[in-house]
Amino acid sequence: MAINFNSYNVGLMLLLVKMINLWSIGVCQIDDIDLTKGASYIFGDSLVDAGNNNYLQTLSKADIPPNGIDFKASGGNPTGRFTNGRTIGDIVGEGLGQPRYAMPFLAPNTTGKAVLYGVNYASGGGGILNATGSIFVNRLSMDIQVDYFNITRKQIYKLLGASKARQYLNKHSIFSVTIGSNDFLNNYLLPVVSAGARIRQTPDDFVADMIDHLRSQLTRLYALDGRKFIVGNVGPIGCIPYQQTINQLSQNECVDLPNKLALQYNRKLKSLLDEMNWNLEGATFVLANVYDLVMELITDYAKYGFSTASKACCANEGGGELARLIPCGPTSSTCGDRDKHVFWDAYHPSEAANLIIAKLLLDGDARYTSPINIRRLQDL
* Residue 68 DSSP one-character state: T
Q: Three-class SS string for 203-233?
A: HHHHHHHHHHHHHHHHHHHHHCCCCEEEEEC
| Amino acid at the residue 192 | V
Output phi, psi for 139, to 5 deg.
-170, 165
Please check whether residue 380 is in contact with residue 228, taking contact to mean a CB–CB distance below 8 angstroms: yes
**DSSP code per residue over 1-46:** ----GGGGHHHHHHHHHHHHHHHHH-S---TTS-GGG-EEEEEEST
* Residue 380 DSSP one-character state: -
376 vs 380: CA distance, rounded Å: 6
Q: How far is CA 29 from the centre of its chain?
A: 32
Output phi, psi for 234, to 5 deg.
-85, 135
161 vs 171: CA distance, rounded Å: 15
**DSSP code per residue over 120-184:** E---TT--SSTTTTGGGS----HHHHHHHHHHHHHHHHHHH-HHHHHHHHHHSEEEEEE--HHHI
Q: Which residues are catalytic?
A: 46, 345, 348
Q: Which of 90, 38, 111, 84 is nearest to 313 (CA)?
A: 84
304 vs 294: CA distance, rounded Å: 11
If residue 284 lies in a helix (H) or strand (E), which one and from where to where?
Answer: strand 284-288
Spatial CB neighbours of 163, under 8 Å, sequence gap ≥ 6: none
- The upper half-sphere exposure of residue 236, i.e. CA atoms within 13 Å in the direction of its Cβ, equals 20
